[in-house]
Amino acid sequence: MSHHIFARRLRPLMVLAALTLGLGACKDSTGPDDHGHAEEVHAMRITLANGTSVTVGETGTVTGTLTIPRGVATAFTVTFLDDDGVVVDDLKATEFQASVSPNAGITFVRTGAFTGTLQGATAGTVIVRFGLFHVPHSHHDFGPFPVPVTIAGAA
């Protein structure tokens, strides 16, 4: 009978331990298996519909320029690259999306997890922050980094 009393008293501790381990796994850990293949991401490429693109490295260095016409919704795609510059193509749209945060002067409309449009109202250069957002964990796995976007056309 003492065995049953011991087991009954031990059960709440076992449940608490299991919950603690389970909740601990949801934190913003950087272990190799915590985020699927997001740990492979070392850069991102933002490509406009006309083929123009910029690459943003893991330190935020931007290579290239993005120019969109004033007043035109311009489609773009964000791809994420591994250390060799190869596209990490197994990021699930249900778990990840490109985060896009424009400053004043430009609007963003999401058309997919890694696609959208940008439209500028006034000629000039504005900053748009891009990154890789891990949806279930509500945090960025890459970036966000500021990317200058030039809006061309008469003011």
SS3 content of the chain, % helix, strand, coil (to 5): 15, 45, 35
pLDDT in tens, 62-71: 999 999 999 9
Give the closest residue to 154 by CA, choosing from 124, 120, 123: 123
pLDDT in tens, 84-97: 999 998 899 999 99
- Above 70 in pLDDT, residue 11? no
- The full set of domain ranges for the chain reads 33-152
What does the pLDDT average to over 49-74? 96
120 near 126, Cβ under 8 Å? yes
In order, the DSSP letters of 14-46 are HHHHHHHHHHHTTS----TTTTTTGGG--EEEE
Architecture of the domain defined by 33-152: Sandwich (2.60)
